[in-house]
Amino acid sequence: MSQTKDIRGSVEGELSYDPLVDDSDITVKNINGDVALNGTVPSYPQYLEAAAAARRVAGVTKLQNHLEVVLPPENYRDDPMLTTTANDALTLNVTVPDGVEATASNGDITLTGTVSSGAERTAAEQAVTYLTGVRNVKDDIAISTDADPVDVTFNVQDALDRYALIPDDSDVTIDTSGNTVTLTGHVRTWAEHDAVLDAAWMATGVYDVRDDLYVTG
């Protein structure tokens, strides 16, 4: 069996195995580990979970998620209702600071406001991701805290040195320019890749993370 067919089949198998994904309208394409998901899913959490399932498969080095969220009629929420529900969820989440707001347009949620860290931005995204009627989440939240680029680089590297998923001989390099962190180097798995990104986003003063990591598979 060719590697192309093997990886595609493994991704299809993982999508079918995952109970949080309805794979009935998903097609998988693979070219040398560059996997594309096409088709439709009935919710935004399934859109995210399908990508996570594909990344669990050995040999997947890149992933393009082209899935479209097509909500069942009973899950549709009009803009005012979804906007109110999303803002209530943000208010009730203790990890989301005051001032973060949500606006809905045809199922697409846009988040605005100001937070002090990337972790708080992530908390805001997660607060609205699993609401009925959401088709997509766009994060336009600003980060207010400034920091010395040298300190950011040191703190991210220090975090990676503590992480069990990151091997001691990792060649991941952190470069900070202003408040943007650029990550380069090789990681073995998507779990390792996500751990590196999480470490960068948690550093105080990081406004943006540029992901130039290469997943070896």
Write down the domain spans for the chain.
3-69, 73-143, 149-215
- How confident is residue 18, by pLDDT bands cut at 50, 70 and 90? very high
Q: Which amino acid is at 172?
A: V
pTM, to two decimals = 0.83
The answer to whether the beta carbons of residues 139 and 121 sit under 8 Å apart is yes
Looking at residues 104-117, what average pLDDT do you find? 95
Range list of H helices, the chain: 3-17, 44-55, 79-92, 118-129, 149-162, 190-202
55-75 per-position pLDDT tens digit? 999 999 999 999 999 999 999
3-69 CATH: 3.30.1340.30
Among residues 160, 162, 140, the alpha carbon closest in space to that of 152 is found at 160
Question: How far is residue 133 CA from its own chain's centroid?
Answer: 19
What is the topology classification, in CATH, of domain 73-143?
Answer: Histidine-containing Protein; Chain: A; (3.30.1340)
- 2 pLDDT above the threshold of 60: no
The answer to whether the beta carbons of residues 203 and 159 sit under 8 Å apart is yes
- How confident is residue 1, by pLDDT bands cut at 50, 70 and 90? very low
Quick one: tokens of 33? 């580990």
149-215 CATH: 3.30.1340.30
pLDDT at 99: 93
- How confident is residue 44, by pLDDT bands cut at 50, 70 and 90? very high
Separation of alpha carbons 139 and 159, rounded Å: 25
Which helix H or strand E contains 64, and what residues bound it?
A: strand 62-65
Domains 73-143 and 149-215 alike in fold? yes
pLDDT at 138: 97
Q: What is the CA radius of gyration of the chain?
A: 19
Q: Which amino acid is at 21?
A: V
